[in-house]
Structure formats: C-alpha cells, structure tokens
Chain A
C-alpha cells in the first residue's frame, strides 16, 4: 500500500459568500504525479492554492475542511505557513523569476530560511538547477539576470527555485500553459525526471499532458470533484458521463 502524503477531506471554499469548492475529498500518494483537470472555473487552481495556504493572502476567502500533510493539520492555528510553504512548494502559470540573477533566484528560498555558507549555497543551487534540467544551459551565466532567459528556461528556473528549499510536495499551476510546445516538453521532461523524488500535483488544461506525465487524474467541474482514479482509467474509460463529455471535447 502506497503511503498517503497529503489527504484532504470535505474541502469547502468560499469567495466572500460564493461557494467555489463544494466538499472535495482527495488523497495524494507519496511520489506520485497527480493531474487536476477540468474546464476553466471548475475550481482546480483554487483547490491547488488551498494546499499551501496561498489563499491566506486574500481576506475574503474562507477555507473549511481537513487538510492533513504527513498527519499534520495544515490549517491548524499554530501551523507555521513559512515552514509549510518550504515543504509544499509552488510553481505558477506565468514564469515569474524575480528580476535578480539566476543564482539569487534559486538561492532565494534557502537564504530566507537559514544562513548558509557560500559553499553550501553553491551546492544547493547547482543541485536544484540540475534537478530542474536547466543546469547545462545556464551554468556559465549564473550571475546573469533571470529575466534574460527564454520563457521555458525561466519556468525551469522557477522550478529549480521551488526545489531549492527541498520540498516534499510541488504544486504546479498550469506550468506549461504560457509556453511554446518545445519549451513545454522540456518542462515536462523535467517533471518526469523528478518523479519518484517528490510528490507533484499539477493543474493542466491539456489532457495529453495529463496522460503523458501523471499517475492519477482528478476531474473537477463546477467546484465538485467528479472523478478521481488512475490516469489511464479516467482518460480512456471514465465512469461518469461528464468526464466522458469533457475528455471527448463535447464541452470545455
């Protein structure tokens, strides 16, 4: 039996009075890649952002439900969001490196967490960039601005930056949606190389991407979790009519 690293139960989320998530129950296996698919506005990104408490930034959002990460309640009042977000990292849709050098970008999360020697930092930066499969492209230009890179490279630097704090879970919110197909496939390769090293949860609009990289797939619609199963099963032989309609392109 595989180990559950993150379990969520009966997740309700409100934007003001409007309910955006209607009781989601989802579990994530350790070191699996789970894809969240569904039409725009189905709540998959909203759900993803609840997993590392990014909704804390917005006053009007209320989150209810149980989120257990390694047996610890994420929304417990004494949870340190800083430590939590180092363990559950996030990569956004737009490649968004800071306007600093590549090195400073990757070292950012480590530096904010604790004081490290130059040698330790160098090592972490190199390891993270290698993990994100971009080391060979940038190793000679570590002190160039990260904004001078191409979109795909920027996104992989963003992944390296998230990996540098050594997270157990990586949340990816449509990480390839803003990229051209070649860059997108490089980012996908990066994710494939990272599988078995950490748990990844990815929101994607591309069914093809979900089928290429994910172990399990969850289909969201209108704030409900419609179907959750092995990717093959969901995409080839879904149990529910809505899922069938969505993946065959009848709507969405």
Chain B
C-alpha cells in the first residue's frame, strides 16, 4: 500500500518534464510581451517628450504645414508641422492599395480558379520570390525606371507621391496576392459545386459566390498590404523626393513619415527638440500600425460570423 501511496504523491519524471516545458514556453511568451511593451514605452516616452518637455502644441504638430524643427516661428514656437508627412504617407499608401487590389484579385483568381496548374507551378513561386526581394532593390528599380518615366510623362523631377505609390504598389502586390490566394483557396469546394449545379456560369460562380464569400479575407489582405506600405521606409525614400512640404500635386517632391525619420534620425542629437520631434513621427507610425491591426481583427471577426 505504501509504495502505491508514495508513487502517487511523488512527482513522476513525466510531470517534471511537463512542468519544464511549460516554464520554457511561458518564458518565451513573456520575453515577447516584454519586448513589445518596452518598444511602446520607449517610443511613447520619446515621442511624447515633444509635447511635454518641449511644450509643442499637439494640434500644431498634427495640423502644421511647416516642418523645420530647428527653427521657430514669429511667436517663438518651433516649426514642427507634421501634416505634410502624414498626408504623404496616407496618399502613397492609399494609391498603392487602390492600384494593387484589382491586380491582386485578378492574379489570385487566375491562380486558383482559371488555371490552378500554372498557378501552382509558375505564379505561386514567382509571387513568393517577389515577397523576398529586399526593399532597396525595389527602390533602386523605382529610381532608375519609374522616376524617369514619371519625369517623361508629367515633367518636373519625376520624384513624388506617384513614384512612391508605384514602387509601393509593386512591393505590396505579391503580399496581397498570396494572401488573397489563400483566402480563395479556403472557400469550400461545395460552394463552387452548388453554384454550378444551380446553373451559374464559371464567371458567375467566381464573381457572385467565390469573391463574395471571400470578401472579408480579401479586405484583410488589402489592409495588411496597406500596413506594410505605410511602414516601408527605404524604397519610398529613394523615389519620393524627401521635401517636407505639403504635396502640391502627385508628381511634386514630397515626403512620408518614414522617409523623414530615416533621413533625420542619424543627424540629430538625442534629447533635443529635433530628435524628439522625429520620435513623435515614429509614435504616429506605431499607432497607425496598431490601427491597421485592429481593423484587420475587426474584419476577420465580422467575416467569421
């Protein structure tokens, strides 16, 4: 009796292993959470210093049109208007997403519905390859191909919102496409069968059943692409012209949050207003990526029904 009692009360080897594994996975999770929270705290403390330490008015920051943090205006207030960059970021992102969506849906429909064989053999690997190309390569192509073309068509320098949006469009297209492909593939086969059994043509099946039931997934893909476009720095910086001015048109040199950040962060002194103002831009970026995330979750929840 006692031996049974003892073996029941003593922790077995398997239990110890189980506990060990739990500790390991929990520590991994904890580490990630700590890192994410630290990033937020760090960026927030730096970014908010602009408003608390340097006493910049938040509204002036968000709506001001002049960006020259080293200088002051007539009232002695520093010129930290971030509106040109905010506008630039949103414009390139929206245009890139608008152009990319139809291409992504078209490619995805071809790969899943029209010609799955070619899709799996050629287009699939190609899109995966495109995802892996470093952004500096895209930027370089933009610089040597898109900018000259823009210069030729619209005149001026060729640098600007359109050039940035085009580069971003090419960059996010593979991401949006492959996510759309996954969504279309997850549409159950019986939707296709019953649509055809009801006398729908192939196009009606694609258009009225598959795309319609895949809409939440496609939207998620597009928002995901937008999040990526919004945060992309290098490629955009190479083609947008980096003039911190309100965009006068889509082909005049302008800037985005990221392009100004990468340009300026190495040339300012830690703790100075110039530096803090850049951190405020980073804070906006961080909050925006949070917003994109929330949107994606909301869509996914609604789509799940």
Contacts and interface: CB of A to CB of B under 8 A. Distances in A.
Nearest to A158: B194
A109 to B, nearest CB: 4
A162 interface: yes
B188 A96 contact: yes
Interface string A60-99: 0000000000000000000001111110011010101011
A96 B200 contact: no
Given A96-B190, A98-B191, A108 B197 contact: no
A94 B193 contact: no
B196 interface: yes
Nearest to A113: B199
Contact of A112 (B190, B192, B193, B199): B199
Nearest to A162: B198
B209 A54 contact: no
Given A98-B213, A100-B212, A92 B193 contact: yes
Contacts of B305: 99, 145, 147-148
A96 B198 contact: no
Interface residues of A, number: 29
Given A86-B198, A96-B188, A108 B193 contact: no
A57 to B, nearest CB: 7
Contacts of B204: 112
A92 B194 contact: yes
Nearest to B199: A86
A92 B200 contact: no
A57 B192 CA distance: 10
Interface of B: 188, 190-201, 204, 208-209, 212-213, 305
Interface of A: 52, 54, 57, 81-86, 89-90, 92, 94, 96, 98-100, 108-109, 111-113, 145, 147-148, 158, 161-162, 165
Given A82-B200, A85-B199, A96-B194, 14 more contacts: A54-B193, A85-B196, A85-B198, A92-B193, A92-B194, A94-B190, A98-B194, A100-B212, A109-B198, A111-B208, A112-B208, A161-B198, A162-B197, A165-B198
